Structure 1
Amino acid sequence: MGKGYNAAIAANPYVVGSFACIGGGLFGLDISSMSGVLNNDAYLRTFHHPGSNAQGAIVASMPAGSFVGALLVSWLADRIGRKNTVITSGWIWVVGSILQCAAQNRGMLVVGRIISGLSVGLASSVVPLYQSEITPPAIRGRLVSMQQWAITWGILLQYFVQFGCSYIDGVASFRIPWGLQMIPAIILSLGMLFFPESPRWLMDKGREDEALQVLADLHGNGDKNNELVVLEYEEIRAQVYFERTEGARSYLDLIKPGVLRRVSLGCSMQMWSQLSGMNVMMYYIVYVFQGAGLTGRRANLIADSVQYVLNVALTIPAILYIDRWGRRPLLIAGSALMGFWFMLVGGLQGRFGAWGDVDGTETWVITGHDAATKGIIVCSYLCVCSFAISIGPVSWTYPAEIFPLRVRAKAVSISTATNWAFNFALAWAVPPGLSNIAYKTYFIFGAFDFAACIHFFFCFPETAGRSLEEVEEIFAQGHAFTAWKIGRDVGKKTVEDAKKQVKELELHEHIDEKVSDV
């Protein structure tokens, strides 16, 4: 049987680990595909000037579909594999993009966005899962965090396409960007044909020879006898065997001792990433800057683009140093800073704003206070920067590396579904919130950020630099470990420790086989 992938590509872990991130870019494309049209006259005319509730529903339809897609991964990724699930997500996105581009009314637009959301839900769950299973521990955080960078690039590129097309008269100003967004999905689906399947999934399906070959191509330049490749192969094989002895897999496994705690951490991580308020600054930045008193559609578009550029740029340090800095420090510092900036934005809005009219809509807006307007814009930039360098990348990395293999696909999908459930709720709730309680909305998100900071400190152990099997040993201690006392080296195995564990598990396997023969 042929490999079914290009061995030369597989030999470069950065290429293998980063290409699938195009799936994350689809999420970014969607975010700015809506934020860029909120003040587009042609869009407003075509869809009959949706009010705050209707616009919230249109935006929220995508995360609603993503919620379903994320749940499907729990079944699909185990059944057809991680790689084929990524490919499937790309083709579903193409269908959704076609429907959005051709939308004649709100109903057709919502259906297209739900289908696109289904694709994003699949990709956002399976891509970190795939990356975590094919990359070595030393760079796993860096490569999985590139999922967030791909999201920021998707936001930026689509926004500039929207910006350029805003100079076109008529419906082409928003239909062209919605049509062009299918190109990355086509590249993703076709390109993934040349990439390997997850060796852990292959091992789990009994395709051990293929798993060994993939590991050799990924981490040993094709040499199956490479000592580290053999060690990793035996460690994965022993872990798969051990988990098989625990019986059939079901969703009930997610509430078993030792797993439930990790499920709560994964779901909480994704919940806080949404409650941090970042998507307020992404989906509805047009409304934020309007309320700050930034007048003129072009001026607003330019200010928005600066925010998206900062989002891309500040994600780079996290990608480069996430494995050196660790997950915990980034989460704690990022959430504290975001809470501070949101409180400042709410304070400035409350002090200098008042109810007024913006394009025929009653809005809480600052007028005649240029310093306050600039202060809010700067604080929103700093808020985005704080997220980009911390919670953004870690929110995808952490859930992908804390679960045991036997429930990994299900647990990651549940965690990501939590992300989309809160994304859906906030996408729908924020426009009415800004319309009714105005600046107090920012205080709510600031409070969420401070609560997240406390939770990160007391409950989230460090996982940086450990293999997935070593992370398993941390949580195997049950409630015996204290999160903030798990250092970078605590519980970390040496090569000799790993060899010893493999031999012990192989001995158990040999004894079981003898008993079975008898």
Structure 2
Amino acid sequence: MDNKLDREVTADDVDVKPGTDNAVLDPALDEAVKFEHSLTFVQACKLYPSAIAWSAFVSMGVIMLAFDPQLLGNLYAMPQFQQDFGYLYDGQYIISAPWQTGLSMGNPVGQVVGALIAGYPMERFGRKWTFGACVTLTAALVFIQFFARSLQVLLVGELLGGLVLGCYAVIAPAYSSEVCPMAIRGIVTSYVNLCFVIGQLLGNSVCAGTQNLNDHWAYSIPFALQWFWCLIIIPGMFWVPESPWWLVRRGRLDEAERVLRRLASKKIDVGQTLAVIVETDRLEQELEMGSTYWDCFKGVNLRRTEISVGVYCTQVLSGIYLINYGTYFFTLAGLDTDQAFNMGIGFLAVGFLGTICSWPLIVRYGRRTIYNSGLFLLVFLQLIIGILDCIPGRPTNVIWAESSLMLIWNFFYDLSIGPVCFVIISEASATRVRSKSIAIATAAQGALGCVMTVAIPYMINPDQANMQGKLGFFFGGLALLCFVWAYFRVPETKGRTFDELDILFERHVPTRQFATYVIEGGASHER
């Protein structure tokens, strides 16, 4: 598909009228916007293969982010790890709840601190070099975990490693949304969720393969495998294209044009794409979107930040942190160690399938419908699990029913709010504060994660509350509150360019009218 114009489009072609809430495009830019709207998913995949590939490459950092906490959650159920790091309780070795809390705190604390820190180098040095620095630091900090032979040393390794790992949750969705066109933006940003699932699945699978070893290699091998991803990513870092949106904000238009040529096929007129990026940036400057953390909470950006924070925090409140304790949870539910590890792998395998199945739904139905429908179903499943756990004596068939429902729950989680969350946080935020808005959402989610990291071991450990399946009541109730919020606050962002989203938020369009609100030459009409 060739969409070349008769003349070169530059930043001078963009005109934003002072004091207005919309950009006025010359015919060339108007044609460029119409072209992006006309692209189908299949056409976009053919025209932007490099953009998709580099987006997937940068998202690999999320695999490392997800692998680490999943690894720890499995180690708590690993006999050799329990023996080397735990203490005897009622005839078996366990890791105490306080130490489980401390060790598991590294990842959510890292998401809080690391995410907020990441916003600064991402804006100063760009997405590419911030990502490269994080991968290099991760490779160095894995040495602490690998050689740890005490809980104290392992705690240091987890805390330091978590600070760096938290940056990947900001870099991946921001980069993916900025290198790909609107038609495939939903898929590449939701791919971040698939990377979470891959990391968790690998963590479970590796531990299932080493859990029967009778020496320190039972847990040292899983720690060492974190170097595998570093060895893949570091050599390729030198060829990663920088975000064209970041380059435009830095005034480096020539470099932005060269990057766009690398990301798109030769059939695309990158001059058009560059002009639209410049126009959107100028529009946001006119609308005083700002570029600091404080700007995320000023004016219309406050609503956009609330949406990003809300959808990300809903993941935690609906019970996703139970995945990190999945295998341990299954052993406490009454399954033997081998069955628990197999169930843990199956748990994440259905999550992998769910994420892939979500892609055609995202393309067809958008964001709001999938998110709200999925969240309501998760509430229902959690409450059923809680009710089943109230059956006196908890017979074996009830234990298996609860475990099976957890698998179904995870499938629908990764079919809906899991992947769609990353689409929404990438689209709801203004481009000038995208990295900082995603950082704030990630930090808020991490802060809630810290609360859950403290609470869950006490709720599930046999020497503490021993709630077992009754956790369904707890997380089902929280998820119900999230559903009520999402129904009134989460808009439909499918099929909107970034400048159109700026205008919709600036005009304070009601949540349920986002999908039908029409912007025509500066005038709006209800369909």
TM, length-normalised to structure 1: 0.85
> 1:10–1:385: structure 2 CA closer, same or farther, 3 Å change rule?
closer
1:335 alignment counterpart: 375
Shift of residue 340, structure 1, vs aligned partner: 1.1
1:485 alignment counterpart: 513
Of residues 419, 431, 436, the one that matches 2:465 is 436
Shift of residue 292, structure 1, vs aligned partner: 2.9
2:305 is the counterpart of 1:263: yes
Distance 2:75 2:272 in 1: 53
Shift of residue 74, structure 1, vs aligned partner: 1.6
Question: Aligned to 1:196, what secondary structure does the other structure show?
Answer: coil
Shift of residue 287, structure 1, vs aligned partner: 3.6
> 1:40–1:9: structure 2 CA closer, same or farther, 3 Å change rule?
farther
Amino acid at match of 2:405: C
1:22 alignment counterpart: 60
2:403 alignment counterpart: 377
1:284 alignment counterpart: 325
Distance 2:73 2:176 in 1: 29
Question: Aligned to 1:436, what secondary structure does the other structure show?
Answer: coil
Deviations 1:342-382 (A, max 9, x none): 111111112235xxxxxxxxxxxx3xx12211210111011
Unaligned stretches of 5+ in structure 1? Answer: 1-7, 354-365, 501-518
Shift of residue 314, structure 1, vs aligned partner: 1.2
Shift of residue 437, structure 1, vs aligned partner: 6.3
Shift of residue 213, structure 1, vs aligned partner: 2.0
2:496 is the counterpart of 1:469: no
> 1:474–1:423: structure 2 CA closer, same or farther, 3 Å change rule?
same
Equivalent residues in 2 for 1:112-511, closer than 5 Å: 112-219=157-264, 221-222=265-266, 226-227=268-269, 229-244=270-285, 246=288, 249-280=291-322, 282-294=323-335, 296-353=336-393, 366=394, 369-434=395-460, 435-436=464-465, 438=467, 439-478=469-508, 481-487=509-515, 490-491=517-518
Amino acid at match of 2:259: V
2:117 is the counterpart of 1:64: no
Distance 1:207 1:190 in 2: 26
Deviations 1:226-245 (A, max 9, x none): 44x33321121123234446
> 1:41–1:474: structure 2 CA closer, same or farther, 3 Å change rule?
same
Any conservation in 2 of the 1:131–1:140 contact (CA below 8 Å)?
Answer: yes
1:506 alignment counterpart: none
Any conservation in 2 of the 1:92–1:115 contact (CA below 8 Å)?
Answer: no
Amino acid at match of 1:473: I
Any conservation in 2 of the 1:345–1:442 contact (CA below 8 Å)?
Answer: yes
Distance 2:293 2:141 in 1: 30
> 1:205–1:218: structure 2 CA closer, same or farther, 3 Å change rule?
same
Distance 2:111 2:159 in 1: 7
Any conservation in 1 of the 2:355–2:415 contact (CA below 8 Å)?
Answer: yes
Any conservation in 2 of the 1:470–1:491 contact (CA below 8 Å)?
Answer: no
1:516 alignment counterpart: none
- Tell which deviates more after alignment, 170-179 or 405-414: 405-414
Equivalent residues in 2 for 1:35-46, closer than 5 Å: 35-46=73-84
- Tell which deviates more after alignment, 459-468 or 248-257: 248-257
Distance 1:395 1:111 in 2: 31
> 1:388–1:492: structure 2 CA closer, same or farther, 3 Å change rule?
farther
Shift of residue 9, structure 1, vs aligned partner: 12
Amino acid at match of 2:293: Y
2:100 alignment counterpart: 55
> 1:448–1:248: structure 2 CA closer, same or farther, 3 Å change rule?
closer
Distance 2:47 2:241 in 1: 9
> 1:491–1:214: structure 2 CA closer, same or farther, 3 Å change rule?
farther
Shift of residue 473, structure 1, vs aligned partner: 1.7
Deviations 1:190-233 (A, max 9, x none): 323212100000011111011122223323x246xx44x33321
Deviations 1:137-163 (A, max 9, x none): 000010111011011111112221111
RMSD: 2.2
2:128 alignment counterpart: 83
Shift of residue 264, structure 1, vs aligned partner: 0.9
Shift of residue 492, structure 1, vs aligned partner: 5.9
Give me the identity figure in percent. Answer: 26
- Tell which deviates more after alignment, 159-168 or 284-293: 284-293
Distance 1:450 1:175 in 2: 40
- Tell which deviates more after alignment, 181-190 or 407-416: 181-190
Distance 2:352 2:283 in 1: 42
- Tell which deviates more after alignment, 139-148 or 40-49: 40-49
Distance 1:10 1:181 in 2: 30
Shift of residue 247, structure 1, vs aligned partner: 9.0
Amino acid at match of 2:503: E
Question: Aligned to 1:99, what secondary structure does the other structure show?
Answer: helix
> 1:468–1:249: structure 2 CA closer, same or farther, 3 Å change rule?
closer
Structure 1 stretches of at least 4 aligned residues deviating more than 6 Å after TM superposition? none
Any conservation in 2 of the 1:473–1:491 contact (CA below 8 Å)?
Answer: no
Any conservation in 2 of the 1:9–1:194 contact (CA below 8 Å)?
Answer: no
Shift of residue 13, structure 1, vs aligned partner: 2.6
Deviations 1:68-90 (A, max 9, x none): 11001221110110111111221
Distance 1:321 1:18 in 2: 20
1:13 alignment counterpart: 51
Deviations 1:462-508 (A, max 9, x none): 01122222221221112xx2212221x53467xxx59x9xxxxxxxx
Amino acid at match of 1:448: L
Distance 1:372 1:441 in 2: 15
Any conservation in 2 of the 1:95–1:116 contact (CA below 8 Å)?
Answer: no
Amino acid at match of 1:472: D
Distance 1:463 1:313 in 2: 24
